[in-house]
Structure 1
């Protein structure tokens, strides 16, 4: 999943980048509102973590501009401005959640997981495809209760497919979910990841299917559990 971090405090931004990338997210970071709008216009993100105290262009202005473009990307406001009127204004302008500084990193990550799950239209904490289960809290895959050891890039591809289970995901969308501004990834690399995943998942009865000329998908398994 690809996130955009909008934070002008370099030390905090660097720390959050390390934490979120360490959790397996593809994260880009910018330090001002104009750069944030440019990034959101040029690229597709699953979630934006938005500070309000930004140079030149206030974060609320950025939020208003994003929603004014009918962009429904999930937005988590992360700011020291915690007065009730600020929170109300941010939520009224279209923020999906609001977390004040100082904050606990585990709470930030939990809120990100909730918003990504909501964006994907999910209410359960697990997704089951074939005999493979994806736990949205630990972001780990397992089969018959046994954890699957999948390399980071392949795991990120599989996560993207699971979060959109039953829907075709284009190569371009998969690629966008993996890369940051400073990374170079080709469509051929996506094909290689898919090929490796097919070999890893075949013993567990799960197939990554091809929609020729469009992309890839996995079928969701419905096992009667509450969604």
Structure 2
């Protein structure tokens, strides 16, 4: 029976890998060229009311495309390789691990303007932990894509939960959205908070309280 299950799991993984590779190939084949991207920027400059051929703007399309490569680099990065190495030398440690104040910059998928903030994440390890810098890198992978804060919250938590299979994960993201500050209602300083919990954090309200207390610097 074990052999059959292992065979089915291996087959499913192989199919999933093949599907991922096929999707990547489709994305690569349909992705506009750099020249097309630069032409699109020139069109937007002209639509805004300026002359894309004037001295100050002549190289702007190239600079914008280069900036987009950095700002949206999360589309070219996967989380699997970041979380495939864990460490088992944790002795009898069985309490939560908390990383606070992970700064991030992302872009709203509705208006393509920035939203910036901080991620706070905790998890209860089971025998193994992950390097702390890897958690910050996971945040960057998903933040450097077009996002909503709600989806960003869920993606980060799911990546940690699936890779480490801890007893629970807690995440809180607080951010300011420029689509509210720069346009529309123009309410600068408004903060949006999203949370999500799994395992013991979801099932035990006291652990949620302790998580929130630790974020405020209060020891329980």
Larger fraction in helix: 2
Q: Give TM-score, length-normalised by structure 2.
A: 0.23
Please identify the structure whose Cα radius of gyration is greater.
2
By relative contact order (CA 8 Å, sep 6+), the higher-ranking structure is 1
Q: Give TM-score, length-normalised by structure 1.
A: 0.23
